[in-house]
Amino acid sequence: IGLLIGPFVIPVAGIILGPFVGALAGEMIVHQKDLKTAARIGIGSLIGFISGVFAKGVIQLMMIGYFLYTVL
């Protein structure tokens, strides 16, 4: 939810802060976690999001390289 709402609230920083704030708020509101535990979950969500974006970028570059290798 944070990734969907974040870019509308803070255009550039919302893409990075959205998953963290969304996970933090969700854990504190829904699961009644304390701030320290919710922050750790939010950081884990942020690390997972950034890792996924990085992995997708690497795979896309590999696919572009393979395409150019086979075509040229």
Q: Does the reported pTM lie above 0.85? A: no
> Which structural domain range is residue 17 located in?
2-71
Q: Is 59 exposed, middle or buried (0-12, 13-18, 19+ CB in 10 A)?
A: exposed
**Total count of domains within the chain:** 1
The model's pLDDT over 28-71, given as tens digits with 9 standing for 90+, comes to: 999 898 999 999 999 999 999 999 999 999 999 999 999 999 99
What residue type is assigned to position 47 of the chain?
I
